[in-house]
Amino acid sequence: MSFSTLTAAIDANPDENWDYEGSLSNSSNITLAFVKSHPTKPWSMYSLSHNSAIPIADIITDMFDTTPLAWNMDKVSCRSDVTMQIVLDNIGLDWNFINLSRNSAISIDDVRNNIDLAWDFVIVTANKGATLDDLTNHPTKGWCYKQLCCKYN
């Protein structure tokens, strides 16, 4: 069954026990429009927030909507399509900088160029390629010296 056939069946039978929290929230075909058209259903915002079927631009736009969904920013911050530019363009959102520090779309240069944001510098040291120069240039940032010693030993 195609996803459009499934959504038509859901719309025709809204009182049935559809799996909103599980397979629908995790579907690779789900759209934000479909979710928003069924606002009272028990969606898993944890799953929807990390579901790559919903573009990050749509999530960000929804956050500024008059009736936004309750996005899970911990999971949104983990998405590989969250770039440094998206964070900077939307700096007022409640980004999880621990997860952004792990995010593969964020580079060590992004961290260096935005050094005063709330990065987890232990994670950045371990995962982003921090160097001795980074530690020397910003010694109070909470870098993981032990991790750097292991890296160069």
DSSP-derived secondary structure letter, 142: -
pLDDT in the model for residue 15: 82
Residues of the chain with pLDDT below 70 are: 1, 149-153
Q: What is the pLDDT of residues 88-102, one digit of tens each?
A: 999 999 999 999 999
pLDDT in the model for residue 118: 97
Q: Name which of 133, 42, 21, 119 is nearest 77 in CA terms.
A: 119
pLDDT in the model for residue 90: 97
DSSP-derived secondary structure letter, 67: S
pLDDT in the model for residue 27: 92
CA distance 19 to 16: 9
Q: How far is CA 29 from CA 6, 66, 101, 111, in A?
A: 11, 25, 29, 33
pLDDT in the model for residue 1: 67
pTM: 0.87
* Spatial CB neighbours of 9, under 8 Å, sequence gap ≥ 6: 1
pLDDT in the model for residue 151: 60
- Torsion-angle region of residue 57: left (phi > 0), alpha (psi -120 to 50) or beta? alpha
